[in-house]
Amino acid sequence: MSTELISLLPLDVGFDLRVTKTLVRLTGLCVAYLNPAGKKCRTTGCIETVVEELAAAGYHVVVAQTPTGQDVQCTPTSSAPIGDGFHGENVTWSVRDRTDTYWCTGASILQAIQRAEWTPDQIHPLAERR
């Protein structure tokens, strides 16, 4: 994944991505964003940590895709797809099942992809698609 800073700040994007619930396609793990109080923050780390921090701040984030091109996303639980009902406390990971029939959800990326009957090696981070 790229270490270049990605800014989700309204000043750089042109609007507040959280308000419009715009899906952010994250191709790097060094991100500037607004926290729930509107304060500028920066985060880095592993995919799950960065994405869950952004989702907890109100962002809707896509970091990977299945072999069929379906998004693996993490959102605030209050905005998560209804899916099969397995949500996280604050954030929920979601992915379409293998037949693209329904959303599989979970408290972690691993839980969601396993519920959708994907294996971790089948999931492709967006950064690899550059």
Residue range 15-44, pLDDT digits in tens: 999 999 999 999 989 999 999 999 999 999
Q: Which helix (H) or strand (E) holds 76?
A: strand 71-76
C-alpha–C-alpha distance, residues 9 and 92, integer Å: 22
Tell me the whole-structure pTM to 2 decimals. Answer: 0.91
Find, among 6, 32, 2, 22, the residue nearest to 125 by Cα.
2
Residue range 59-82, pLDDT digits in tens: 999 999 999 999 999 999 999 998
pLDDT of res. 82: 86
C-alpha–C-alpha distance, residues 6 and 12, integer Å: 10
C-alpha–C-alpha distance, residues 6 and 26, integer Å: 8
How far, in Å, are 15, 84, 103, 125 from residue 1 at the CA level? 25, 30, 26, 8
Are the CB atoms for 16 and 10 separated by under 8 Å?
yes
Q: In which region does residue 55 sit, left (phi positive, over 0), alpha (psi from -120 to 50) or beta (all else)?
A: alpha
Q: In which region does residue 69 sit, left (phi positive, over 0), alpha (psi from -120 to 50) or beta (all else)?
A: left
Percent of the chain whose predicted confidence (pLDDT) is above 70: 96
pLDDT of res. 129: 47
